[in-house]
A and B are shown apart, each in its own frame.
Chain A
Amino acid sequence: MKHCEYQQIDPQALSTPTPTLPPQHAVVQEEKKGETARRKWEDFPGKNRFYCDGRIIVAQQSGVLPLTLGLILVTTVLFFVFDCPFLLKHLTVFIPAIGGVLFVFVVISLLQTSFTDPGILPRATPDEAADIEKQIDNSGSSTYRPPPRTKEVMINQQVVKLKYCFTCKMFRPPRTSHCSLCDNCVERFDHHCPWVGNCVGKRNYRFFYTFIVSLSFLTVFIFGCVATHLALRAQGGRGLMFALQESPASAVELVICFFSVWSILGLSGFHTYLVASNLTTNEDIKGSWSGKSGTEDTGNPYSYNNIITNCCSVLCGPMPPSLIDRRGFMPVEESSQTVATEIELAAKNEINVCQLVLCLSVFVCMAHHHPPLGGQLSGLCSVLCWLMSKCTQGTKDLLESASRSPCPQTGKPQTVSTSCPDSIDPADPAVTFNPDVTPDPVAVPSLKCGGRHHSHTTSPPDEPRQLHHHHHHNRHHKTRSARSSSKRAALHISNPAYNVSLSPPTSPGLGPSHGTGAEEHVRDSFATLH
């Protein structure tokens, strides 16, 4: 680095190499400040949401996950309530048993797929980013922002291009891709599945595969059992209509199963092919290894050229750890940056938990009561209508075919919008990082101590309007960071080595023109690093 600085290292920052220290430090800080220490998930830069104090991670939009769960629950419950007694009596006890086992497998693997970290790569620290920038610019490029950067590596005697991720400020490892919905780089990125409400990547691909395979078995099983049930009832010349009148729920199950079995079986088959050839959906769609680019030497360099080995390595390989350390404690000076976003995040999480709980309880209630069938169907319709408002475009056809009767307008729980109100312009400055300004050794304590409730209403008397401005920007910056330019995203990353001050310590005059001024400042500071 041409521009080196000598900085005071806060002793807590050194605690990161030795993993046992942070909790103790956090506890010490807790006693000092009188507030709970923040966990790392609270300042996560991507668009994920966290529940159970960081134990559960989902994508920003849960997508169609409630619908998926709902359909599975409803179909299976109807099956157990209406078809199993008949089949138990006339056939065998194994039918409910097998159905139960499959159902348990499906739900558990679905929840694991949705709530597991897919293999998110944490963003590069500013030091790393600076180091990479230096290396790139040393290799000859003269403009400030050269065209998309790539690096070539040899993998198994084949040339593979690694792309530079502008959001995460690093060269993506092989097979890693950046998911724009979650705003994260994910290792061995397969695809972002709206049905599951999460990305499918290295860590949860086996759960996803188990889910779709067991779901196809379950769907086929239920379809077969219901068909058998209706056939048995219709025996003796009484006809199908009679059977349907006696057991109308079976019609619902038949319809749901019939429409979903094709896509689910197709998906299972496709993913079985992918597993056997050690490919990801992403690579298959882009045709990375199929020679479309016209170059020779384009086999898949990751394949072991043996179906069994490929399957074993993808499905039974060692389970890699989560790299984002959601539940670790943050070093104290970092938490002061984002105290303003705490309120919003906390509120958001509470609202989402309420929604999830409400949704599930609705289904449970429906399942447990045995109301008259009309009530049940209308309940189903109302829930489906509610979900319709949250669904993506492609699933609307499925819904319309499933619910025939008109949907009554019941008093549904008001779905609180989880995203920030759209009142912020995209040119949100929120620039906080000045690498070449000698950082103020006194971190801005007033922000943290300001507390959750006061941060955007009152400000400490010595830094009145500027701080207020900053809180306002930071609060919205959290949700807009993906849409603003990538250099801003990197600046928000906290680094224990840098004692970041939220406001330039010596220039109170910036005020309203702070946005453009700070951006220029940052641009200059990046230039000086070269």
Chain B
Amino acid sequence: EISAPWTFHNLQELRHSASLANKVFLQRDYSDGTTCRFQTKFPSELESRIERPLFEDTVKRLNIYYAEAEKMGGQSYLEGCLACATAYLIFLCMETRYEKVLKKIGRYIQEQNEKIYAPRGLLITDPIERGMRVIEISIYEDRGSSGSCSGSSSTSGSSAR
């Protein structure tokens, strides 16, 4: 593992002083069918940037939230039947449970970015912005750090195996 020197950023600083080096994509896990789950495999590019338990915790939490959004239980059936009875017009006025959970997820990701990922020069993109296909993690390099050093760390992390 190469530990490249990085300075601790907050989210604001990241925008103004860092440049994008690489992006890692966590794909969907379809073993359970079409419900929304993401693979928890730890990408090799992040090995030098963040501790594995922290990362896995974030992804697992996201999976739990998505499972909650798509859960088919009493409340969702009630919502569905009520919607059918009103010719689905209540969708125009009411926020569905899914949307509420999505907002919660957005806040969670924002919080994780601010507390954990931005200080390490990483940024998680909300999957909804990518069509729920991937969790995109952007890896930033400090503009001030030497090009070769950060270059080598990212290339070694992403070289084909």
Contact = CB atoms under 8 A, between A and B. Distances in A.
On whether the two chains bind one another, the answer is: yes
Interface of A: 1-2, 4, 6-9, 11, 14, 16-19, 104-105, 108-109, 112, 121-122, 124-125, 127-128, 131, 134, 138, 153-156, 160, 162, 170, 173-175, 187-188, 206-207, 210, 301-302, 312-313, 315-321, 323-325, 497
B63 interface: no
Contacts of B159: 2
Contacts of B42: none
A108 B84 contact: no
Interface string B19-53: 11111010010111110000000000000000000
Contacts of A11: 15-16
Q: Which of A1, A104, A105, A302 has the most CB of B within 10 A?
A: A1
Contacts of B30: 153, 155, 160, 162, 173-174
B21 A128 contact: no
Contact of A321 (B99, B133, B155): B99
B87 interface: yes
Q: Which of B16, B21, B131 has the most CB of A within 10 A?
A: B131
A8 to B, nearest CB: 6
Nearest to A319: B96
A318 B99 CA distance: 10
Interface of B: 11, 14-16, 18-23, 25, 28, 30-34, 69-72, 76-77, 79-81, 83-84, 87-89, 91, 96-99, 102, 106, 109-110, 113, 123-126, 128-134, 136, 138, 140-141, 147, 151, 154-155, 158-161
A498 to B, nearest CB: 10
Given A9-B15, A17-B129, A301-B33, A315 B84 contact: yes
A318 B76 contact: yes
Given A17-B126, A318-B96, A9 B20 contact: yes
A16 B125 contact: yes
Nearest to A185: B131
Given A6-B141, A7-B19, A318-B76, A128 B123 contact: no
A28 B72 CA distance: 42
A319 B161 CA distance: 41
A207 B80 CA distance: 12
Contact of A124 (B20, B70, B109, B133): B133
A316 B77 contact: yes
A109 B98 contact: no
Contacts of A105: 87
Given A9-B19, A11-B15, A323-B128, A104 B76 contact: no
B88 A138 contact: no
B88 A108 contact: yes
Given A108-B87, A206-B88, A324-B131, 14 more contacts: A1-B22, A7-B19, A8-B19, A9-B20, A11-B16, A104-B87, A109-B88, A154-B31, A173-B28, A173-B30, A188-B34, A301-B33, A315-B84, A316-B80
Contacts of A188: 34
Given A14-B14, A127-B136, A318-B96, A302 B34 contact: yes
B160 A2 contact: yes
A155 B35 CA distance: 11
A527 B36 CA distance: 33
A2 B154 CA distance: 9
Given A128-B130, A131-B25, A153-B31, A317 B76 contact: yes
A206 B84 contact: yes
25 contacts: A1-B22, A4-B158, A9-B19, A16-B125, A17-B125, A19-B126, A109-B87, A112-B88, A122-B131, A127-B136, A128-B134, A138-B160, A154-B31, A156-B32, A173-B30, A174-B33, A175-B34, A312-B77, A317-B70, A317-B76, A317-B80, A318-B71, A318-B80, A318-B96, A497-B138
B151 A4 contact: yes
Closest 10 CB pairs of A and B: A316-B80, A122-B131, A108-B87, A323-B131, A153-B30, A318-B76, A318-B98, A14-B15, A319-B96, A316-B77
Contacts of A19: 106, 126
A173 B131 CA distance: 11
- B interface: dominant SS: mixed
A225 to B, nearest CB: 22
B146 to A, nearest CB: 11
A290 B130 CA distance: 33
Contact of A4 (B71, B102, B155): B155
A317 B97 CA distance: 11
Contacts of B96: 318-319, 321
A170 B97 contact: no
B151 to A, nearest CB: 7
Nearest to B126: A17
A500 B58 CA distance: 33
Given A6-B141, A316-B84, A318-B97, A17 B128 contact: no
Given A7-B20, A112-B88, A173-B28, A321 B128 contact: yes
Given A2-B155, A6-B147, A17-B126, A173 B34 contact: yes
Contacts of B77: 312, 316
Contact of B133 (A121, A207, A301, A318): A121
Contacts of B161: 138
A319 B23 CA distance: 31
Contacts of A109: 87-88
A156 B34 CA distance: 10
A330 to B, nearest CB: 13
Contact of A316 (B16, B76, B106): B76
